[in-house]
Amino acid sequence: MNGVSRGPGPLKAAERRAGILFSLPVIVLTGALIFLPIAQTVYYSLTKWNGITSTFVGLGNYRSLVSDPVFWRVVLNNLLLLLAIPFAILIPLAVAFLLHQHVLGWRVFRSIYFLPTAVSWVVIGMVAARFFAGRGILNDLLAVFGPGVRTDALTNEYTAMLAVSLTFIWSVFGTNTIIFITGMATLDQDVYDAARMDGAGTIAIFRFITIPLLMRFIQFAFILTLITGFTALFSLIFVMTTGGPGYGTTTLEFFVYQKAFAQGAFGYAAAIGVVLFAVVFVISLLQQRVLRSRED
């Protein structure tokens, strides 16, 4: 009654200590599996390391990267993959919207679209390599337009990168479609009913209602697709093109493998890994800032 505030009771203090105690294993495990490897990679990027012994070289590996024309060619390949991400988002978003409208056979289509997600990257790469090969399915389809209409996409560095990008879009199609279907299931149907009563068409509803309400799910799908495209396509590229022709389909992730395990330049490869981490981190921050500004 005299206005003196009391601190937390013994029970609250005990609960707080118990919470900290139960959190310690997760904190230690996270530090051991995530933050410690990141710190090690940053350290090794400052050394000339052959896997056994290391010599500190400071920023020497980074200076070599900046002056390496192959590195910039590889960065260009990653930028081309970045251009594929909007298609990897918008196409599943449109398909999810149609499935959400319960078009004829929507349950069957939902299962079919999710199929690529259940298949390993190696299998996807083998299917894509067979599809785009000189005697593959693509040329069988092009033969409809005449015997002279054909392509060997995987033997040209530009068309090979296009083939990898198309395969990448197809491989994440199922995951993103399910993400958007899940998001649409959480939306208030009264909003759609009110829009239809006001005379809004399907396209208007999709553009002005569905997309704004799904921004959080779109943001999640973007980051997931970005991380997949920049850090999870090694098996796909290895099976389809092995990074070629030349460096035509070599990404930063694949470049790390080439430098570390093909040439033994582990310190140089670690520097590439740090650059890759920084690129993904910066793009994710920019994307979050753009979406947050639109919401405001």
261 is a domain residue? yes
Is the bond preceding residue 8 a cis peptide, omega within 30 degrees?
A: no
156 token code pair: 């040209």
Split at pLDDT 50, 70, 90, the class of 294 is low
Are 71 and 32 contained in the same domain?
no
Split at pLDDT 50, 70, 90, the class of 86 is very high
pLDDT of residue 189: 83
Are 86 and 174 contained in the same domain?
yes
Split at pLDDT 50, 70, 90, the class of 80 is very high
Are 276 and 198 contained in the same domain?
yes
- Give per-residue pLDDT as tens, 136-151: 888 888 777 766 667 8
- Give the count of beta carbons closer than 10 Å to the beta carbon of residue 236: 25
Structural domain tally of the chain?
2
Are 36 and 80 contained in the same domain?
no
Are 97 and 207 contained in the same domain?
yes
**Residue 214: pLDDT over 80:** yes
Split at pLDDT 50, 70, 90, the class of 162 is very high
Are 29 and 167 contained in the same domain?
no
CATH of the domain at 228: 1.10.3720.10
Selection from 124, 87, 91, 77 nearest residue 239 by Cα: 124
Are 117 and 204 contained in the same domain?
yes
Region of poorest pLDDT, from 14-23, 158-167, 188-197, 286-295: 286-295
In Å, what is the CA distance from 210 to each residue of 5, 129, 166, 185, 248?
49, 36, 26, 11, 38
247 token code pair: 């460096």
> Percentage of the chain with pLDDT > 70?
93
Task: Check if the beta carbon of residue 193 is closer than 8 Å to that of residue 138.
Answer: no
Q: Give the range of the structural domain holding residue 31, as residue numbers without chain letter.
A: 11-44
Split at pLDDT 50, 70, 90, the class of 205 is confident
Are 16 and 81 contained in the same domain?
no
pLDDT of residue 133: 86
